[in-house]
């Protein structure tokens, strides 16, 4: 029997129940919320994950909210764009990552989901969603917002920044796919493609199905990155995309000294979804250092 979940649509006077098929293999209840405050401080919280939908460009965008132990003192929020939704049932591919982000950073995480739509529509909708959430969070006094993109999600986030350089203050790109032209001149492409038999074929499959290359603009084509926000880029040494990502990071750091590039030895593409605990431990440590910046204490002279 196909599982279903309830989705509530707010009409002004009452809540109408609508039955919609569930993609995630379990019965989930989604709510169409009215204010960002309801996400940060839910009236009833029976578990550590809540599900909401927001109306963006006349479409419903699903959000999954991962809560820390204490929600009364939230001062920092992470927005997370995953990269696995188009390949498999996306929730279980990023659930563990988001839960660990909550635990490591002691913060609230909002995971932005997206349908298998054209790449540009997903980028546009992600931009509108980030803008909506950012404005709502700022309105309730939360200014510290970090946006993280994972694999294809990192590609989406980089193109969101192309649309509006001020949309985020601080971002993290985890092993991003930055150019769907697949430049085979990079040595990592030839070397690691023999070890990693899935990454490039999966990206090509996605590109052929969802990306309009005639209207696609890669971040690698930018002439200057002076107006870009502070970015942490993390990749794995065994990733076929490693050299392309490193080239982008060099250009970015040339114009933005606060941006940082980290290459994790012996790690593959998508290692946060692997069993490589050493790579994951190093990655979360690097992200924590980037996110939780310590202010220098200035002692005034006598």
CA distances (Å), origin 181, targets 113, 130, 200, 223, 288: 25, 27, 11, 18, 32
Please give the structure tokens belonging to residue 76: 């920092």
Q: Say what the alpha-carbon torsion angle 152, 155, 157, 161 is, to the nearest 10 degrees.
A: -170
Mean pLDDT of 185-199: 83
Give me the pLDDT at residue 291, please.
93
Of the ranges 104-118, 185-199, 250-264, the best mean pLDDT one: 250-264
Q: For residue range 95-114, what is the model confidence (pLDDT) as tens digits?
A: 899 999 999 999 999 999 88
Q: For residue range 220-236, what is the model confidence (pLDDT) as tens digits?
A: 999 999 999 999 999 99
Query: Spelled out in words, what is the top-level CATH class assigned to the domain 48-290?
Result: alpha beta
Q: Kindly state the percentage of the chain with pLDDT values over 90.
A: 54
Mean pLDDT of 180-194: 81
pLDDT at position 292 over 70:
yes
Q: What is the mean pLDDT of the chain?
A: 82
pLDDT at position 182 over 90:
no
Burial state string for 153-179 with b = 16 or more CB within 10 A and e = fewer than 16: bbbbbbbbbbeeeebbebbbbbbbbbb
Residues 214, 219, 225, 227, CA torsion sign: positive
Mean pLDDT of 11-21: 31
pLDDT at position 272 over 70:
yes
pLDDT at position 274 over 80:
yes
pLDDT at position 281 over 90:
yes
* pTM given for the model: 0.85
pLDDT at position 4 over 90:
no
Residues 119, 125, 127, 129, CA torsion sign: negative
pLDDT at position 299 over 50:
no
Give me the pLDDT at residue 25, please.
38
């Amino acid at each position: 029997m196909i599982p279903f979940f309830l989705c509530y649509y707010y009409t002004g006077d009452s809540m109408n129940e609508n039955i919609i098929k569930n993609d995630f293999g379990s019965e989930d209840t989604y709510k169409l919320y009215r204010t960002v405050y309801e996400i940060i401080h839910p009236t009833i919280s029976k578990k550590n994950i809540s599900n909401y939908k927001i109306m963006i460009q006349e479409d419903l965008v699903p959000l999954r909210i991962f809560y820390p132990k204490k929600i009364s003192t939230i001062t920092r929020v992470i927005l997370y764009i995953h990269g696995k939704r188009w390949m498999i049932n996306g929730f279980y591919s990023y659930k563990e990552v988001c839960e660990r982000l909550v635990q490591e950073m002691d913060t609230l995480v909002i995971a932005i989901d997206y349908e298998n739509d054209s790449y540009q529509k997903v980028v546009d909708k992600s931009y509108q969603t980030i803008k909506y959430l950012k404005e709502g969070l700022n309105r309730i006094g939360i200014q510290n917002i970090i946006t993280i993109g994972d694999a294809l999600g990192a590609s989406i986030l980089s193109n969101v920044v192309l649309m509006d350089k001020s949309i985020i203050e601080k971002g993290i790109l985890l092993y991003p796919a930055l150019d769907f032209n697949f430049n085979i001149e990079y040595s990592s492409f030839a070397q690691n493609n023999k070890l990693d038999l899935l990454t490039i074929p999966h990206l090509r499959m996605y590109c052929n199905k969802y990306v309009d290359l005639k209207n696609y603009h890669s971040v690698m084509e930018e002439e200057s990155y002076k107006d870009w926000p502070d970015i942490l880029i993390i990749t794995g040494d065994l990733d076929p995309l490693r050299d392309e990502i490193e080239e982008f990071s060099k250009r970015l750091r040339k114009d933005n000294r606060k941006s940082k590039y980290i290459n994790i030895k012996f790690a593959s593409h998508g290692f946060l979804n692997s069993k490589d605990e050493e790579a994951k431990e190093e990655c979360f440590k690097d992200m924590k250092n980037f996110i939780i910046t310590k202010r220098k204490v200035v002692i005034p002279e006598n």
